[in-house]
Structure 1
């Protein structure tokens, strides 16, 4: 028996959203998948969803920036998982207004519709980027927020809007803050797919930006489990909760580990076009996940170095399948 009868997932056509949609259906939820409208009638990654869930979800094609469409999509749903966002950091440098429209105004549309329709639960998606470079580690939810890119600034704004609706209108909203999620279907703008696709395409000289920054990587299955735990627990209402592995590794060591798993000796080549401006680069991310354990009974299943290696192996297996690799332009930097 599911906690809620019908769930709206915004951003369901994306990397995490498509995995989340599939798992909700497996667990018996009725799902309406909000996808970005396009003239090709493409549902993004949901076009390639697992066979056992195909045809078992409803699709609403719209635009998160349109309040009328958002409200229409939400009608009849008693819970919302809001993932729709622009997330590429380099793109936010030259097109910040579209990030304000999508991430802040889009979130406002979701919050307002949820309030007007008396939705029973709303989970809003944040990001570890709101913390900026760690001032202390591991990073707890009390860490100061730092907008080091237009992207992270808009996510901070969206998070604060969500909390304001909880405090002002008692909207039952919780904020999930995933650290760096990776896995099958991830965009090549992210570092792990960038490394894998370059190696899988026959390159041994791997182009990367800075290799010294550290990240707390989370396999997508763990992140999805975090979303569902947020959805099903009343303890998440009014809370900001990190979903992270509590394991820190540098970009350079990540590349070496991927090369080792793929049995390829790689050389890392510094590509200046991939570097962020100096003060915008987030140098260190390492999650404290004690609050998720305490409030949600959530712990990462892909934990530590061994868990990271296991998740990478599954990710590599997916990306190196010919029909998947062909979808990625390994020779181009995807901003």
Structure 2
């Protein structure tokens, strides 16, 4: 039984990945962000039979000592811990450098010291910036269009350097726009759904023309597992994408149709990114992940959206969301 560590396990994708790993028979240690409330984030909502199987380690990814301690006795590391909100990175870039770059360095240094057998570092499609060609494959140029994306580019290149310099078994996993149950309100799909479910007739959004390649979270989590299973993925950067492009306008209209057909879209200037920072087009290639692993998306966009809406309709799930404010 492989012992694996998931950093950022208390978050959106991390909690789904942790749950999947337990269901697939892995022995999982979950690295969660220390807080005085003793909250384990979304892990607290997992079924009790799953939660009791998880070894929870509370710490801070910015602390090399805690990271090293968490990684002792671990065979594989799924490194997901990061600050991810783009608007917040505009006014707090220092915290993104400390968390995303230095946090990744802490994982890499500890893995080198402990001779960890496999490390998966989580990237993002935002490192590509606006598509210069589509579908975007792993050879596409990088462009730091926000402090967030710049720090993720830095973390990716650090990971590459450790693979090349020290022959470490590293893979860089690059999901495109993941959505689904447990996603925070700083993302567009929960923003729209929570406003609609609260009865709002005017749905506030930023730019409507950008397009995205939306992955359902269970497919994203499965992508991580399949990449870890394949030795062919060592030293590789690998997209997780659907190769389907949907504009924010099309997305909003579909959610309005399903939840509240009487609602209309209002452009809120506060939610619009600076012009040169907006990523106008993302459409990813999944050719590489299909060639190197057994991954195939199991959910269509329509199926994933249906499950997501149903999750948000449960009052206990939506209780902590504040649909009346702009969540950066």
Structure 1 and Structure 2 fold alike (TM over 0.5): yes
TM-score when normalising by structure 2: 0.99
More displaced, 317-326 or 144-153? 317-326
For 1:101 and 1:179, locate their aligned partners in 2 and report how far apart those are by CA, in whole Å: 23
Matched, 1:199 2:196: yes
5 Å matches for 1:157-306?
Answer: 157-302=154-299
Residue in 1 that maps onto 2:302: 309
Unmatched runs of 5 consecutive residues or more in structure 1:
none
SS at match of 1:176: strand
Q: 2:9 aligns with which of 5, 12, 18?
A: 12
Per-residue CA deviations over 1:214-252 (Å, capped at 9, x if unaligned) read 000000010000000111111110000000111000001
Residue in 1 that maps onto 2:327: 334
Matched, 1:141 2:134: no
Q: 1:100 aligns with which of 89, 93, 97?
A: 97
SS at match of 2:250: helix
For 1:264 and 1:328, locate their aligned partners in 2 and report how far apart those are by CA, in whole Å: 22
Residue in 2 that maps onto 1:325: 318
The answer (yes or no) to whether the contact 2:156–2:172 under 8 Å persists in 1 is yes
Shift of 1:263: 4.6
CA RMSD of superposed structures (Å): 0.8
For 1:11 and 1:27, locate their aligned partners in 2 and report how far apart those are by CA, in whole Å: 19
Q: Runs of at least 4 residues of structure 1 off by over 6 A?
A: none
The answer (yes or no) to whether the contact 1:204–1:264 under 8 Å persists in 2 is no
TM-score when normalising by structure 1: 0.97
